[in-house]
Structure 1
């Protein structure tokens, strides 16, 4: 018989005020969910008595609004239901070490109430209600996992890429043709040459001739020429602009700290701006309606792919205000953990900005700061200890000085902020780890759960420091199988061994949380799962053959699943209410078409999402 866990009644402490953090936690606790469960049972009896209906497969909802919203469905899902494995099958993965594979899960309204055998969850149900429990069984090959989370993403930027996607082109000329097609398809832009044309996703490392583009290329086509065009690179670390934009930016500074204005042999700007130099490019801010459109496009794909929560890696003032407004209006259909962008040129705000914790029906939190330490490997901006192998003239660059890092990190920690730092190169990672270590003298680093976003290239002596300092490695496995084709040329045969060294980090007792960095990479979390456990391309190849690129750095399936569920919850301070299937937690879970924990690795990518459930209700598919 399966082990059982259930929610028990307890009184909330008088010190847990409803509007305090403790009170908010209590509101999502086991006692609260069980009390609501018992109360709704009594309401169900009253309703049954009033309408004298006999329900064979479900009982009446205790909230009229829920009933009305589901009225049009042929097979409505009751507010309380049990979802069970087929007899003798192991189809539920809770990521709860105390009860990893129960036969059934019991959901009431927005919480998990109990897990265990069907007899057990029925007995828990009947303790609080005499109504009939709806029981559903999974399909023969299906499994249930906790709601999936992406620990590093760019939500509104992903929606923007849907407007004019540039990924997959093989040359500058082909990319310009994409821009032309976009203009021709939009009469408003076609008829007004003053309107900005924006796109995302060009990748010069994938072009047949690997070179930086120029503004002249945008002037060769008569439809594109003369327009203000701003095109973001795939990795988000470079902007390619047209002549009209370039002229509007004059005069340009000779240099910019933490960035590069790409110039030709005569010293003239070519129209490409790297890292901090991107801040020089001005463009009109999108309207709230445009942002809503972008957000809706992102959420649609996220739900389809099983994501119930996302960590947005860089709220600027515009996006922060957008998400705050949507949360207050009750219009966040996905959980968002936002990192507030740090601008090194602005005044320190950690002691004056009020943190946002679980507002909008527990959908929005902003309690971390995002700092950029360096650039990207793809664009040559990652800060290295030694020069690039394929470009010995540079070691990349820091986007922020070590002195400023050592000044602001302890301040943010002292003021209760989680500090998340983008670091790609080995030098950048070492500098940030030094700053975290120095901050130990002023704050408890582990308690504040600092994160290194990407942690891509690590010196061997730095790999052990994650576990020692309690620093979370927020990594993106799909980056590994994208970069593996050019990484050794860029870093050399020895240094490349420290790139995407997931196993080396884990073996030093560190915690890894997984993301995609979408739209830089595919949003599909199963693509990240596949990359983490195989280190081969979707076609099954790698520079080291079908066995994988540095296969000794692979993660196990259990580690990868944790990295998409309970570890992101820990990294966002929500492990008590999210991240696993356990009584008292919010009922976020995903039904997958096949068992990713046992199928052949090549079959993982053919798995599709049957249903995505948030707060006990499907937001995609059906149960």
Structure 2
């Protein structure tokens, strides 16, 4: 990424309209931690976006490039079947689309009176259906989802079951079965639901026949299977913070260091790697470079499912250089079929690139932006890497770990903010969130936070004092409600009955003034945004269960339906600087919307997950279903 120079199209990157954006560029200095006097913070990307922001804001009702067939009204039989998701949560009966833009909203009668009904097609959604703004997922991993879908392991209920699924995949895939050099990738395994404790492994390659204890202990693991043995197998965990690999992969990556900061190489009693690597240790594996065909196959799978679930926009939480280059190639050829807001991956071992790389803002029809940086502060709760103030209740030997030193955060966060980048930091444990908020607080002193919009990715576990501080600082909380109903079954054992109350405390975050945006973290959780919507408002499993009974797990922390809907539409747009043209069905915005078979805003919660997506529409044209 360092030193790149690109010809880019700048689009909206505003606050709330042209005047607000111009005002936001004022007050552009803040102290950098440890730097003494204030240094000037340049917001040149915002300046460059002003012209297009103004154009979008004052968009006329009619798109002059639209043909007659691209001007239509989509209406509901109900007077309130269109959920606009504006400031007042208004509703309407019809939305008028002119080419790629929303041209009007109102009742059927009003629309007929305002438009020549001879030239305006009037279409109706099916009875009971509603129209909402196009759904955004604020935290996901696009190409990683495509990779895991090749060999999904989330349903595996034991090590033996997971191994059997790998074996079956090989046997049913001739090009892999007949070529032992092919790398086999999959993901989604979850050791927290397996009956055994501890990690899975690969069999030690050269164990002696007399080492029966070792052979018996690991007889169900990867290399014990004759079909799998000798192949390169790389399996990502459900939370994406651990890799389970075969001995062949370990051999190809030798020598491995004894330790690695911010990560763990799981070893047996003799000190040999067992085949599981956590967090930063995952980067030690030598993996083959992905081909364009590999990337395209993964991308097509992810986009196909995203459209099917009603998604029109995805915030990709951690673009490595390969992924970002692929998305840029697709955007430049006009073939990005979904909007992508990319978070560029931060590698502390590389030179600082914030002042040498140009942010991508609304490239090619607002389909691709990459104006933020993603930094990992700690690991994950599921794998025991979340950084806590106190030790884990189920493992008093550790309190997790930081993947970066606090000094790095205090150094790079103000630099990225100064150079016009949004800063998004992964933080799970209460200690990690506290340290990151310390760095944000120091970096944001005197700054216009609305112009910068820093984000805590996950904001999963916070002390009450830090929840208050989050709201006061104006840092966005990017949360994933589906994690609640996955983690609630083991969370108290891991944290104890008192600390667990500060986990996924969404209501407390909102009540303390935090702005939240919702995502799924797919492939960690289901891509279906209605699953996250359901989890946010119920905090119970799809079958209506929770450790605290039918009212849900800590039901006082539930979000309202309005808050959840805004979190996956207009608030997601705000979190990606796109609220002037996405996130709501207001006149002049892009015609991105989703048609649902049921009104999720008032049906019984038990019916939400049975709701279908009738259509997903981007720029006025269906990419899934029909209208």
TM-score (ref. length: structure 1): 0.89
Mind listing any 5+ residue stretches in structure 1 that lack a counterpart?
A: 1-12, 14-18, 41-60, 63-77
Equivalent residue number for residue 201 of structure 1: 188
What secondary structure, in the 3-state scheme, does the structure 1 residue paired with 2:425 have? Answer: strand
Aligned positions, number: 566
Does 1:83 pair with 2:74? yes
1:226 aligns with 2:224: no
Equivalent position to 1:361, from 361, 365, 374:
365
Of 435, 455, 471 in structure 1, the residue corresponding to residue 459 of structure 2 is 455
Matching of residue 134 in structure 1 with residue 125 in structure 2? no
* Residues 28, 586 of structure 1: 8 Å contact kept: no
What is the 5 A alignment of 1:432-511? 432-441=436-445, 443-511=447-515
Taking the aligned partners of 2:88 and 2:231, their CA distance within structure 1 comes to: 61
- Per the alignment, residue 100 of structure 2 pairs with 110
Task: Note if contact 2:63-2:100 (Cα within 8 Å) is conserved in structure 1.
Answer: no
Corresponding position of 2:53 = 25
2:162 aligned residue? 175
Which residue of structure 1 aligns with residue 590 of structure 2? 586
Deviations 1:362-381 (A, max 9, x none): 10000000000000000000
In 1, the alpha carbon distance for the partners of 2:364 and 2:148 equals: 27
Query: Could you tell me which residue of structure 2 aligns to residue 210 of structure 1?
Result: 197
3-state SS of the aligned residue for 1:353?
coil
Partner SS for 2:228: coil
Single out whichever of 242-251 and 217-226 deviates more from structure 2.
242-251
Give the 5 Å matches for 1:222-261: 222-261=226-265
Measure, in 2, the Cα distance between the counterparts of 1:606 and 1:97.
Answer: 29
Contact 1:147 1:565 in 2 (8 A): yes
1:469-505 deviation digits (Å, cap 9, x = unpaired):
0100000000000000000000000000000000000
Paired residues of 2:62 and 2:98 also in contact (CA < 8 A):
no
Deviations 1:293-316 (A, max 9, x none): 111111111111100000000000
Choose the corresponding residue for 2:543, options 539, 543, 548. 539
2:372–2:423 Cα contact (<8 Å) kept: yes
* Contact 2:201–2:275, Cα closer than 8 Å, also in 1: yes
Shift of 1:191: 1.9
Q: Deviations over 1:309-350 (max 9, x none)?
A: 000000001001000000001011100000000001111000
CA deviation profile, 1:240-273 (whole Å, cap 9, x unmatched): 1111111222221111000011112222211110
Residue correspondence of structure 1 range 507-586 to structure 2 within 5 A: 507-586=511-590
Q: CA RMSD in A?
A: 1.7
Q: Find the residue that maps to 1:272 and give its secondary structure.
A: strand
Cα distance between partner residues in 1 of 2:596 and 2:255: 55
Structure 2 residue aligned with 1:381, among 379, 385, 395?
385
Q: Is the 8 A contact 2:62 2:103 kept in 1?
A: no
Q: Comparing 95-104 with 598-607, which one deviates more in the overlay? A: 95-104
Structure 1 CA distance, aligned partners of 2:559 and 2:89? 23
Partner of 2:434: 430
**DSSP 3-state at the match of 1:494:** helix
- Show the counterpart of 1:69: none
SS of alignment partner, residue 349 of structure 2: coil
Say if 1:495 and 1:265 are closer, same or farther in 2 by CA, change over 3 A: same
Mapped contact 1:405–1:432 kept (Cα < 8 A): yes
* Cα separation, 1, equivalents of 2:604 and 2:183: 47
Contact 1:228 1:244 (C-alpha < 8 Å) held by counterparts: yes
> Could you tell me whether the CA contact under 8 Å between 1:503 and 1:554 is conserved in 2?
yes
1:99 Cα deviation (Å)? 6.9
1:447 Cα shift?
2.2
Given that residues 410 and 443 in structure 1 are in contact (C-alpha distance below 8 angstroms), is that contact kept between their aligned partners in structure 2? no
Q: Which residue of 2 aligns with 1:607?
A: 611
1:34 matched residue in structure 2: 61
Distance 1:27 1:90 in 2: 30
- Is 1:287 matched up with 2:291? yes
Aligned to 2:173: 186
Task: Sort the Cα spacing of 1:592 and 1:35 in 2 relative to 1 into closer, same or farther, 3 A.
Answer: closer
3-state SS in 2 of match to 1:549? coil
SS at match of 1:409: helix
Q: Distance in 2 between matches of 1:99 and 1:171?
A: 46
TM-score (norm 2): 0.88
Q: CA deviation at 1:184?
A: 1.3
1:516 and 1:525 in contact (8 A); partners too = yes
Q: Contact between 2:61 and 2:104, CA under 8 Å: does it hold in 1? A: no
Structure 2: runs of 5+ lacking an equivalent: 1-21, 23-46, 204-220
Once the 2 structures are TM-superposed, how far is the Cα of residue 138 of structure 1 from its aligned partner? 2.7
Further displaced range: 113-122 or 367-376? 113-122
Bigger Cα displacement from structure 2, 590-599 vs 171-180: 171-180
1:198·1:229 contact (CA, 8 Å) conserved in 2?
yes
Task: Please give the secondary structure, in 1, of the residue aligned with 2:527.
Answer: coil
Q: For 1:107-138, what per-residue CA distance to the aligned partner results, in whole angstroms no more than 9, with x for missing partners? A: 10010011112233234434xxx852111223
What residue in structure 2 maps to residue 148 of structure 1?
A: 135
Correspondence for 1:48: none
Q: Whose RCO is larger (CA < 8 A, sep 6+)?
A: 2
- Residue by residue over 1:67-97, the C-alpha shift from the partner in whole angstroms, topping out at 9 and shown as x without a partner, is xxxxxxxxxxx301112222x5321111013
Superposed CA deviations along residues 424-479 of structure 1, whole A, max 9, x for unmatched, are 00000000000000002374334200000011111111111121001000000000
Larger mean CA deviation between 259-268 and 304-313 belongs to 259-268
